[in-house]
Chain A
Amino acid sequence: MNYVIIGNSAAAIGCVEGIRQVDKKGKITIISDEPHHTYSRPLISYLLLGKTDEERMKYRSDSFYEDKNVTAMLGVTVTKIDTDKRCVELEGEKPVKYDRLLVATGSRAFIPPMEGLDTVDKKFTFMKLDDAKALEDAINENSRVLIIGAGLIGLKCAEGINDRVQSIEVVDLADRILPSILDETGSAMVQKHIEDNGIKFTLSDSVAQFDKNTATLKSGKVIEFDVLVIAVGVRPNTQLVAQAGGAVNRGIVTDDRCRTTLKNIYSAGDCTESLDITTGQERILALLPNAYMQGETAGIDMAGGQKLYDKAMPMNAIGFFGLHIITAGSYNGEAAVIQSGNSYKKLVTADDTLIGYIMIGDVARAGIYTALIREKKPLSSIDFDLIKEKPQLMAFSKRERAKTLGGLR
């Protein structure tokens, strides 16, 4: 069997590890336009923060490709998938044939049309290692940084460079920060914490016009800046599959075995849509753990093994200046809120199951909640009052604990 993987991040690595669980011999080729050894993209803010370095950012060891018997073609761009000839065409290289193909092309930063953006000298997005390095080269202790976007990427960027620049101002069209993962109370709490660390916010506003180092907002407010970071969102890289005739909605359409609608072609990671089990809707879940698990499922299926990717949901673990946030699922249900000191917790239930939660501050043992969502555990079968108080195995029946902790089969 001849496996080809387009991409070299979490989904691609998951695929390699999935294939090798089943098929130790097949030929695997990874093709990626980035020239780097596989690295973890979410770590770029930690790189700027000095909490990691390029060596430790590697997602797998230096010997990974060799250990897994993978041919890595790095710094090579795929231009087309030819489904008739079952090959991928490359820029400046000969086409590569496949029996099974994984498209793990990820996503790219979205830059909306903004007037006068071309007059801005130092402007960056914040997705890849090279973006982080370019930003690092552009900033100094006198830099006034303007970040467009108060989502996960914009705020992690802000945290990453906060100690290395003079000031940071974040502008977002939304009326609160991190609206994709937090409720209003949570947003306000985290915003206050980030503000206490010196970062300024201008919300419910957007840039009307840039003129070199000046941004004029719709409200009329004028912000002078030296460096601009655009972090308004990402778009899935779906072009290769779309051009080959595969179904694409917002992301590439895949089934629970991570197969696209094209024969022998799979897709995983940020470029795909998955079924969110907490809403029953197909959506893009551009998150590293999901990417890995999709890739692994695809790899196992490609190699003839059995695995389903059928327990996807949004989930985020993120922190800013020491304040930790863990969230999962969706929030359209009955909410129970527990607030104490600097911690905030919201559990959302529907139809006798937990469908979502937010934890800020005290995030201990959050995974017990995640598992309740993932397994759609009937809340009537556990002591919900106990588990509402804190995540604990005490809330389960003795028999269940005998299975999980006592090895009872």
Chain B
Amino acid sequence: MKRIYVNEKWCLGCHLCEYYCAFANSGKNDMVKALKNITINPRIRIEEHNNVSFAVSCRHCEEPLCVKSCITGALTIKDGVISVNSDKCVGCYTCILSCPYGCISPSDQGAIQKCELCVKNAGGSPACVKGCPNKAIEWVER
């Protein structure tokens, strides 16, 4: 299965992936309008420290602890993609307790949010990958 992989050697720490993620999931057509005057809450996050930086987003684990732990059945895995049904989610954060990579976060609407590889938005393929200027984020079989 194609996964998102990051190469921290190539990461510039520019945070563009975060902006592309927020835009892709905003439901809006215009990036400027979508992101102007808001604090973005992206599903991919850059970690940085002492000149090292890298992006972190859902690994879409084969044995997903978040899905197994979800108390509502809102998190499911289908064809290798883990996604959340925000209508079912009550925001208990058991998935945040469970995810070994810290890739699930509260959404602004009360439920939780996570990378769904842009399968549910208009992007079709991961926006962070398309937006990364230095190919530090790839969506490939490995």
CA distance A404 to B142 in the complex (A): 12
Stretch from A133-141, A142-150, A247-255, A311-319 that touches the partner: A311-319
- Interchain residue pairs A-B with the least CB separation, the first 5: A365-B102, A289-B69, A371-B100, A367-B99, A407-B142
From B21-29, B31-39, B85-93, the one touching the partner chain is B85-93
Q: Would you give 13 A-B contacts (Cβ < 8 Å), ordered by A? A: A40-B71, A56-B88, A288-B69, A319-B93, A326-B96, A328-B97, A364-B96, A365-B105, A367-B65, A394-B47, A405-B8, A405-B59, A406-B6
A285–chain B nearest beta-carbon distance, Å: 13
B interface residues, Cβ below 8 angstroms from A = 3, 5-8, 47-49, 52, 54, 56, 59, 65, 68-69, 71-73, 87-88, 90-102, 104-105, 142
Find out whether the CB atom of A370 lies under 8 angstroms from the CB atom of B98: yes
Expressed in whole angstroms, the minimum distance between the Cβ of B71 and any Cβ of chain A is: 5
User: B residues within 8 A CB of A328?
Assistant: 97
Count residues of A near B (Cβ-Cβ below 8 Å): 48
| A336 contacts the other chain (CB 8 A) | no
Contacts between the two chains (Cβ within 8 Å), count: 124
Contacts known (A367-B100, A405-B6); A394 close to B52, Cβ less than 8 A: yes
CB–CB A289/B52 < 8 A: no
Chain B residues positioned under 8 Å from A289 (CB to CB): 65, 68-69, 71, 94, 98
Instruction: A52-B88, A317-B92, A392-B47 given; name 4 further pairs at CB < 8 Å.
Output: A57-B72, A366-B96, A393-B54, A405-B56
CB-CB under 8 A from B5, the residues of chain A are 405-407
**Residue contact A324 to B8, C-beta cutoff 8 Å:** no
A298 to B81, CA, bound (A): 25
What is the minimal beta-carbon distance from A315 to any residue of chain B, in angstroms? 6
Which of B73, B97, B100, B102 contacts A58 (CB under 8 A)? Answer: B73
Interface status of A368 (Cβ within 8 A of chain B)? yes
A169 CB-CB contact with B under 8 Å: no
| With A315-B97, A370-B100: A293-B88 Cβ-Cβ less than 8 Å | no
Q: Specify which chain A residues have a CB less than 8 angstroms from the CB of B99 in the assembled complex.
A: 365, 367
Residues of A with C-beta under 8 A to B98: 289, 315, 367, 370
For A328, the closest partner residue in chain B by CB is B97
Give the chain B neighbours of A46 by CB distance below 8 A: 90
Q: In whole Å, how far is A376's beta carbon from the nearest beta carbon of chain B?
A: 13
- Which of A288, A326, A367 gathers the greatest number of chain B CB atoms within 10 Å? A367
Say yes or no: is A25 at the interface (Cβ < 8 Å to chain B).
Answer: no
* Residue ID in chain B nearest A374 by CB atoms: B100
Using Cβ atoms and an 8 Å threshold, which residues of chain B touch A59?
72-73
Interfacial residues of chain A within 351-409, with CB under 8 A of chain B in the complex? 363-368, 370-371, 374, 386, 391-394, 398, 401-402, 404-407
